[in-house]
Amino acid sequence: MKLSIVAALLSAHAVVPAAAGFIPQQNSQASSVRGSVMLRGAAPAVQNEDLDKIVADSPLLSLHRTISEIESISNDESKVGEALVKYLEEHGYTAEKQVVPVEEDANSTAERFNVWAYPNGNPQPKVILTSHIDTVPPHIPYTLHAPEGEFDRANVRIMGRGTVDAKASVAAQITAALNYREANPDAAIGLLFVVGEEVGGTGMVHFSDSDLNTTPPFFRTLIFGEPTELKLVDGHKGNVRFTVEAKGLAAHSGYPWLGHSAVSEILPVLSRIDELGDIPVEEGGLPASEKYGRTTLNIGTIKGGAAGNIVPVSASASVTVRLAAGTVEEAQETIKRAVSDVSGGSQNITVTFPNDKAYPPTDLDVDAEGFEVMTVNYGTDIPKLTIHNEGTDIQVKKYLYGPGSIFVAHGVDEGLTIGDLEEAVEGYGRLIEAGIKRS
Ligand SMILES: *[C@@H]1O[C@H](CO)[C@@H](O)[C@H](O)[C@H]1NC(C)=O
Ligand SMILES: *[C@@H]1O[C@H](CO)[C@@H](O)[C@H](O)[C@H]1NC(C)=O
Ligand SMILES: [Zn+2]
């Protein structure tokens, strides 16, 4: 802790009435100087320069700041990728750019890439830490906030887009890997930072389909970084998306029998879909499981019709299913059957499942010592990485762990504390240790 911080800390105490009484002896002079200023009222207890200095003095916090300040909304990740390549190359790593095509519907045409990095001369590490470098929009600038009340460095809050999801994981993973290798220079720890996680996982699919993902796998432990509140995640639900469309025949609303309402046709279908998670499998519902609870469905959009006085010619809805058990194919069959049952097999109704993006419930490893365990309701890149261990006895363990909470991850108040970020470095260190020991 640097002197200016000590002074800031003491001045924070000094705004408390003297009766609160805690001023360490050895610093009483500094505190009385700053304290008298404080008691006259105006200046904030902790100055921005003090907070900046805390960040500047820490390699972890500085790296986190650098990558959080670079805007990297999905499809526009190349600047942050360049920053990571530079940092890793300065720290004994070979960093390769794995070019990933931009999405067809994206604004940007700039080249973007996953960053695959390994210790110099060791291209097939046994342990890989991985997270994503894209964020959701809009970009929110990086800011630092002193805690209310008594100053405590660990409670300084870092806010801004990506500071949690997932640049906190990225910075903590890199720092943990470098720390571990400082003490164990031969430790083979790889780092994979992918693009496009927030918009369907293109980056991870690209890695998975590439030559880097060997058959059989060279790696034995994968440590995924996402906001998990510093707990190990034992798995997450699957995800299946679909759209339902109904076709009708337009007519004047005064003579509806001359047409056919697409809205009238889709309504019973949607109300059946809405309850599929709540009815037993034997009655045509989607399965629950002890681990993940019920399958839930969200009818996220409904569109239809053109005007109040026209019988609607079309209607559609898009649905996301969070699958608690079974396979993607089984869920798709259940959904098609439910739609067909309720519509009497009407040719006017179609259900479409997009080609990619669906995945079944994903189980993860939790055998590392010293972590709390939880289940999450959000999806990750993990199912997008196919592990080619068919026909071998190779076991690849997968852990999911990271600082910060998913509850703020995509919101305007995205942020986490210095304490959480620093604790994540310890946590990743323990997971690396577990991985190195079994490799
Ligand atoms: C594309 O860019 C334009 C102009 O910069 C912006 O208004 C629009 O929202 C962007 N669209 C997407 C899909 O990002
Ligand atoms: C399908 O739509 C046509 C008109 O477009 C209508 O005549 C027919 O009755 C509809 N089928 C069902 C099952 O509602
Ligand atoms: Zn994320």
Check residue 19 and give its pLDDT.
35
Q: How do residues 167-203 score in pLDDT, each as one tens digit?
A: 999 999 999 999 999 999 999 999 999 999 998 889 9
Residue 32 falls within a domain, yes or no?
no
Residues 330, 269: one domain? Answer: yes
Residues 164, 225: one domain? Answer: yes
- 44 confidence band (pLDDT: 50, 70, 90): low
3-state secondary structure at position 320: strand
Residues 251, 302: one domain? Answer: yes
Pairing of strands 415-417, 189-194: unpaired
Of the residues 352, 372, 398, the one at which a domain ends = 352
Residues 221, 260: one domain? Answer: no
Ranges 20-34, 47-61, 279-293, 300-314: which has the least confidence: 20-34
Number of other residues whose CB lies within 10 A of the CB of residue 281: 14
Residue 392 falls within a domain, yes or no?
yes
Residues 220, 248: one domain? Answer: no
Q: Which amino acid is at 58?
A: S
Residue 110 falls within a domain, yes or no?
yes
Of the residues 301, 320, 352, the one at which a domain ends = 352
Active site members: 197
CA–CA dist 237, 291 (Å, integer): 9
Question: Does the CB atom of residue 346 touch ligand 2 within 6 A?
Answer: yes
Residues 211, 242: one domain? Answer: no
Check residue 275 and give its pLDDT.
97
Residues 335, 401: one domain? Answer: no
Residues 91, 221: one domain? Answer: yes
Closest CA to ligand 2's atom 6: 260
- 1 confidence band (pLDDT: 50, 70, 90): very low
Tokens standing for residue 58 = 């820490």
Question: Does the CB atom of residue 260 touch ligand 2 within 6 A?
Answer: yes
Question: Does the CB atom of residue 348 touch ligand 2 within 6 A?
Answer: yes
3-state secondary structure at position 83: helix
H/E segment holding residue 376: strand 373-376
CA 106 – ligand 1 centroid, Å: 8
Q: Which ligand sits closest to the CA of 102?
A: 1
- 20 confidence band (pLDDT: 50, 70, 90): very low
Q: Which ligand sits closest to the CA of 227?
A: 3
**In total, how many domains does the chain have?**
2
H/E segment holding residue 341: helix 328-343
Tell me what percent of the residues of the chain surpass a pLDDT of 90: 80
Q: Which amino acid is at 25?
A: Q
Residues 58, 143: one domain? Answer: yes
Tokens standing for residue 186 = 């031969």
Residues 396, 429: one domain? Answer: yes
Check residue 377 and give its pLDDT.
78
The predicted model gives 322-347 an average pLDDT of 97
What are the phi and psi torsion angles at 51 (to 5°)? -65, -45
Cis peptide before 138 (omega within 30 of 0): yes
Residue 10 falls within a domain, yes or no?
no
CATH of the domain at 323: 3.30.70.360
- 12 confidence band (pLDDT: 50, 70, 90): very low
CA 8 – ligand 2 centroid, Å: 74
Task: Decide if pLDDT at 156 tops 70.
Answer: yes
Task: Decide if pLDDT at 152 tops 60.
Answer: yes
Residues 152, 70: one domain? Answer: yes
Within 109-202, strands assigned E span 112-119, 127-132, 143-145, 157-159, 189-194
- 10 confidence band (pLDDT: 50, 70, 90): very low
Of the residues 318, 352, 386, the one at which a domain ends = 352
In the chain, what is the straight-line distance between the N-terminal and C-terminal CA atoms, in Å? 38
Q: How do residues 194-244 score in pLDDT, each as one tens digit?
A: 999 998 889 999 999 999 999 999 999 999 999 999 999 999 999 999 999
What value does the mean pLDDT of the chain take?
89
Residue 388 falls within a domain, yes or no?
yes
CATH of the domain at 426: 3.40.630.10
- pTM, full prediction: 0.78
> Which residue range(s) make up the domain with 346?
238-352
